[in-house]
Structure 1
Amino acid sequence: MFTVDLHTHTRFFHGVPALGRAFDPVGARLLARTARYRDLDAVVTTNHDYYREFDLGGESFAVLPGIEVTTTRGHALVVGPDPPARTPEGELTPTQVVELAHDRDCAAIIAHPFRNSTVREADADFDAVEVNGKGTDPAEWVEQLAEARDLPLVGGSDAHYPVEVGRAYTEIEADELTPESLTAAIRDGRVEPRVDRSPSQQLLRRAYKAIHGQKGWLEHPAPEPPGLGTPPGEDENAPPPREPEAGDARTDT
């Protein structure tokens, strides 16, 4: 059994690409050291729309390949032995991303399915659904989505800073830890998400929900089941009010 954080980022400086590229190797080392301190066996680097290999200078820790692809309908993770070096932001459909992942012997994962994303609604053959460490997705909705699509759940911290590594991760059932064995375990369902539910993390998750809610990136609870309603990020985030049907209980005031 191995423990792997499937969703991490190496750069702090997202608004300054040149500075971010220079910082990436430092970020990778900081991710690895923090993950090792938290008793993880590996992290997967999933930077937005690009992948690069990192040399940790002989440190005995696994940094596995991955990329977070900005599809036409939100984000998807591609993890495994041969992720693409770069993807065009917002141009590939979810189906094209899944096909790209499978052609490269990688696994395709629906990332943070209810945060600024309608990837979950696409008719694409994904391999897993993510339990995201930021906690902005209602847990029961994520579980229902995975059950409805008959997919396993995996965990990833979505760490953009090293201190965030390991707040969610995945237990991998495998004899060895390689990009190939990681892909196989995800596809076979030999995975289990784990989430840090300590008081400090609960407080951070409330803060993330408030921040992303102000940005209009979250779906609001509604009578309709997950997957219906106006996609988040548009002017109106809440689904339209449901018209009462015959037999609905009413309370007059």
Structure 2
Amino acid sequence: MNIDLHTHGKLAKKTDFSMDYFLSMTREAKENDLQAVALTEHFNTRNFFDMLDQLDREFEYNGDHYVVSGLKVFSGMEVDVAEVGHILVIGNRADIRDLRGQLEPYSGKDSFIPFKELLDRTDNYDVLRIGAHPMRESTPLTHHDPLQLQRLDALDVNAKDLFQYGFGMEGEVRRFADQLGLPACAGSDSHQPLQFGSVYNQLQADCDTAAQIRDEIRAGRYSLEISQCLNVKVKAAQMMKELLKKSMVVA
């Protein structure tokens, strides 16, 4: 199963969820030979629950994923922590809703949840936890306590970082992950359809739950794939994203 473990269903945090835009994302994901994606929208995005409500109304839900024209869309979110850094939490939609409700007091920039507290809370759920873009200058994870980082399931080799810092970033993330005894997995960090296929994970098994994905990654039964067209895909996506945001402002 080819899966992208870090994607977004909205153009930006401040925009409303658009089903048409979301469907354009899923179509492009399928056209890039993905069988699954994890929808890890920012936890403090505008109207987070409205997005889930719309998905619940429109699509069948099996295991931990929506079925969107044959594409598995796993439910999740991307959470900011107080000490700086982003954590991807992927799991059953009921658990994601519950955890998001708990995070409401922590949704402002000056009140993000402490990293250890997020880990403690998510310990109570059967979720997949990934340290997002751990070497990114603006949101690194390298300064966190290694004992806390080791509670994660994996670290994210992020397409945006490969574009910004060069393909050597994969090696840097892998070395950091190795120090912690964690695997490294791929996430495109797509906010725009053109970015799909830049990176993905090729799992040996076809998974229906976050726990199954977690087990495959922990056991090393997958490969991390990076497209030779990554730079073109990410650059084109970023340019299109900026154009779309400007058109929304004008409108």
Query: Fold-level match, TM-score > 0.5?
Result: yes
* Contact map agreement 2:153 2:214 (CA 8 A) in 1: no
2:128 aligned with 1:107: yes
Q: TM-score, normalised by structure 1?
A: 0.70
Alignment of 1:74-223 (within 5 A): 74-81=85-92, 82-83=95-96, 84-86=99-101, 87=103, 88-89=106-107, 90-115=111-136, 116-123=138-145, 124=148, 125-134=151-160, 135=162, 136=164, 138-198=169-229, 201-203=230-232
Runs of 4+ in 1 over 4 A off after TM superposition: 203-209
Give the percent of matched residue pairs that are identical in Structure 1 and Structure 2.
Answer: 27
Supply the AA of the counterpart residue of 2:121: L
Larger Rg: 1
Q: How far apart, CA to CA, are the structure 2 residues paired with 1:117 and 1:39?
A: 30
User: How far off is 1:163 after superposition?
Assistant: 1.5
Q: Using CA pairs below 8 Å that are at least 6 residues apart, which structure has the higher relative contact order?
A: 2
CA distances 1:188-232 after superposition (whole Å, capped 9, x unpaired): 44333211122xx325667999xxxxxxxxxxxxxxxxxxxxxxx
* Contact map agreement 1:107 1:186 (CA 8 A) in 2: no
The alignment of Structure 1 onto Structure 2 pairs a total of residues equal to 201
Q: How far apart, CA to CA, are the structure 2 residues paired with 1:101 and 1:56?
A: 26
* Contact map agreement 1:110 1:120 (CA 8 A) in 2: no
Unpaired runs of 5+ in structure 2?
A: 61-67, 239-251
Unpaired runs of 5+ in structure 1?
A: 210-253
Q: How far apart, CA to CA, are the structure 1 residues paired with 2:127 and 2:6?
A: 14
* Contact map agreement 1:153 1:192 (CA 8 A) in 2: no
Quick one: structure 1 residues 202 and 175, their matched pair in 2 at CA, closer, same or farther if it must change by over 3 Å? closer
Structure having the larger proportion of residues in helix: 2
* Contact map agreement 1:172 1:190 (CA 8 A) in 2: yes
Quick one: structure 1 residues 13 and 140, their matched pair in 2 at CA, closer, same or farther if it must change by over 3 Å? closer
CA distances 1:90-114 after superposition (whole Å, capped 9, x unpaired): 5212222223333211111111112
Alpha carbon RMSD of aligned pairs, Å? Answer: 2.6
SS at match of 2:100: coil
Q: How far apart, CA to CA, are the structure 2 residues paired with 1:101 and 1:192?
A: 26
Quick one: structure 1 residues 188 and 103, their matched pair in 2 at CA, closer, same or farther if it must change by over 3 Å? farther
Q: How far apart, CA to CA, are the structure 2 residues paired with 1:186 and 1:33?
A: 26
